[in-house]
Structure 1
Amino acid sequence: MSRFTRFSADEIERRRLASVAEMKARDRAEFDRRYQEACDTEYWRYGQCCAGCDHWRSDMGWSGQCAAAGIVSGKDVMQSIGAIWSSYTPPPGLPYTRQDFHCGKFIDTFDWSTLDPDYLTRIGAVRDGSLRPKPTHP
């Protein structure tokens, strides 16, 4: 125990590690918020695409997995990200698509009117003060 605190060194380290973990979680939450806003903006600007589809799962740079496509072989997963050869073959999984891809399985069941009006304005979902109809495929 230090003369400056009543906490033991172990307790100080435990609290430091907890603080670091909380900061990482906050940073990730902020990244997720910004990334979701970018995806929503893409959808409202360019129309129906993976970025606005309920089937699309993404937490990275403009690519994500399409749940509507179903499970494909590991080789097909690699090909979906543009790899034509790899010494590693992942297990079967969902294929990856780009955010601007559009397929016939697109669906958007989200109720956009539940979001904050300022957010809707930022992503381009509001025109002339009211919520626009959901985008269609160009």
Structure 2
Amino acid sequence: MIDVSCCPLVPSAALAVEGDRGYPLEPFLMTPFDEPATEGERQYNTSHSSTREVMEQTLQTMKSRFRRIHQSSGALQYEPIKCAKIAAACMWLHNRCVQRRIPLPEDVEGDTAVEEDVDDNEVENEDDAPGYETRRDIVEECFP
């Protein structure tokens, strides 16, 4: 999730979900520019990449500490709201473990694999994507 509260033009949203190039650009789902043309677009892509890196590291840490949320244990078979509550509980428990200096479990093979950006959902003309205006507003307000 990225904080877009700096952008008053984003309709009634303080947060947007961030995805890689494998996801379609939507008003609620921000993806990087395929070919950034301005300095603001390059800064947006840099910020997007940094945020994704932190998100991926965080997810790997959670999956390492809580094996049930790792794919090798199978997907969580619950409604999205319950999955969000489980994730929040895992994050809270992880922070308690960090405070008490409880180490992460030993790495299990495959734990540290980081997904690469996938370009499965190419949009023929990015300007026509549903989230184009939202992303443009974020760039103009946050990366002038």
**TM-score normalised per structure 2:** 0.25
Q: Which has the higher strand share?
A: 1
Whose relative contact order is higher, 1 or 2, with alpha carbons under 8 Å and at least 6 apart? 2
